[in-house]
Amino acid sequence: MDSRTTLLDTPALRVELLRCRLGPGRTPASYTEDRQVLFPLAGSFHWHVGQTTSFVDPNHVMFVETDEESLDTHPVPTEVTCLIATVSATTSRRLWRTPRAFRTRVARISPRLQAHQMWLASALHADRPAAVQEARVLDLLAAATVEAGEVASAPSSYAAQILARRAKALFADRGELIALSELAELLDVSPAHLTDSFHRAEGVPIVRYQIQLRIARALRALPHANDLAALAVSLGFASHSHFSTAFRAHVGLTPSQYRAAARRGDSIETIRKRARAAPG
């Protein structure tokens, strides 16, 4: 059953947490009167806008234009969680001087921005002034727009995009890494062709992309996790040390540092400054 929780509501924007169950089949077509930016936090699905189809998972951000019909599909039942920012017309004009990001529609985000959006989903529940929370959301939207522009400046062929989309659909909800040879066999292409096409379409190697999905699951779980070693194993990492190394390389913080930031509502940058100032 779908649920929609309002986390922040100001004249400038509204932020909601959407949890829904998709598929199989198509959802009803939807429109929005104001521009929206969606940050998928868990789950994956195909997003259809006009003649364009994008595969969306927690490694992406979505830009939804006003009065544009869209719908979602997934071949099997799945649960999806998204952070949705609906932006007023006045704020939209200030944030987006051109519609470039909305023409891109879906863009891959960096692990650090991913950490920021996951943290924000937790921090918006904290008892903080609305003006502070609004500023945090606007910072996130601005950063996502910049990253969307960077992705848009490096286009890939349609064939590479289709192959990358098929690959992402295979490993989106799996905990373990799929070896390149196995993935290439499932897609009936050579490993070299798959490697090249995926990198051109997504801008990162397949293994790094899969690890980022793991990190996304870790970011969701960490605020509620007490046993980090057990969490590491459940996410498919060989050990707590392996998990910590990968997490810090992607996020710039250790798992425990990020957990502390999410639980206290401290900004990630505040935690990073503390970490840099700590002796040793």
Residue 64 to residue 235: CA distance in whole angstroms? 31
- Amino acid letter at 116? H
Are residues 143 and 162 located together in one domain of the fold? no
Residue found under tokens 């425990």:
256
Are residues 215 and 239 located together in one domain of the fold? yes
Are residues 142 and 32 located together in one domain of the fold? yes
Residue found under tokens 């292409």:
189
Contact residues for 223 (Cβ-Cβ < 8 A; gap 6+): 122, 259, 262, 263
Residues 186, 191, 195, 201, CA torsion sign:
negative
> Read out DSSP for 36-68?
EEEEEEE--EEEEETTEEEEE-TTEEEEE-TT-
Q: How many structural domains compose the chain?
A: 2
Out of 101, 117, 152, a domain closes at 152
In tens digits, the chain (280 residues) has pLDDT values of 578 999 999 999 999 999 988 777 677 778 889 999 999 999 888 898 988 888 999 999 999 999 888 888 877 778 899 999 999 999 999 999 989 999 889 999 999 999 999 988 888 876 678 888 999 999 999 999 998 887 654 556 889 989 999 999 888 766 678 889 999 999 999 999 999 999 998 889 999 999 999 999 999 999 999 999 999 999 888 899 999 999 999 998 999 999 988 888 777 777 777 767 666 5
Which CATH number does the domain housing residue 64 bear?
Answer: 2.60.120.10
pTM summary value: 0.89
Which CATH number does the domain housing residue 189 bear?
Answer: 1.10.10.60
Strands 45-49 and 70-74: antiparallel
Query: Cis before residue 111, ω within 30 degrees of 0?
Result: no
Are residues 240 and 141 located together in one domain of the fold? no
Residue 258 to residue 168: CA distance in whole angstroms? 27
Residue 219 to residue 120: CA distance in whole angstroms? 11
What is the domain range of residue 271? Answer: 158-277
Is residue 81 helix, strand or coil?
strand
Burial 130-168 (b: 16+ CB within 10 A, else e): eeebbebbbebbebbbebbeebeeeebeeebbebbbbbb
